[in-house]
Amino acid sequence: MTTILTRTIKLGVFSLLLTGAASADTLTVETTSTGPAAAACPVEFHSIVIPDSAKQCQLFDTAMDDDVIPASMVHFMADSKDQVISFYQQAIPGLTVHSTFNERTLLVANDNAIRVVVSPDGSGTQVDILVTAKG
């Protein structure tokens, strides 16, 4: 059951990041021995600076090798959605708002190699990052 849940979550995150459409309210990932677990957040994820305020990181690229593509990571920040969008637009040159749907904002890099989905989540913001190509 946990393996099915983990695969469903992975598929949902990739689907959301690739299409810009949203179908789930909040992504919840259980800590299991067979799926991604909350871990200390890295300082960088595929050359993308991760803010110090990032918490509850779930890495779907456990190799953390910049050559492993596509790669995705999800994390939570206590900052507002607007603050998070501003941070990532400053951190990633050329990252622009592509669309907003159901309170989720999709940011896409000019070369389409990076997609970031920013969603309100309780008292903070959830961030989904997908890297599809080397920058």
25 or 116: which carries more pLDDT confidence? 116
Report the pLDDT value the prediction gives residue 39, as an integer from 0 to 100: 65
Report how far Cα 94 is from the mean position of its chain's Cα atoms: 17
Give the residue among 20, 43, 26, 42 at the shortest CA–CA distance from 116: 20
Strands (E), 1-135: 38-39, 44-45, 48-49, 55-59, 71-77, 96-101, 104-108, 114-121, 124-131
pLDDT (0 to 100) of residue 99: 94
Mean pLDDT of 47-59: 90
Q: What SS3 class is residue 13?
A: helix
pLDDT at 37: 54
Q: Where are the beta strands (DSSP E) in 3-64?
A: 38-39, 44-45, 48-49, 55-59
User: pTM of the predicted model, to two decimals?
Assistant: 0.69
pLDDT at 112 over 70: yes
CB < 8 Å & 24+ apart, contacts of 21-25:
21/101, 22/101, 22/102, 22/104, 22/117, 22/119
| pLDDT(18) > 60 | no
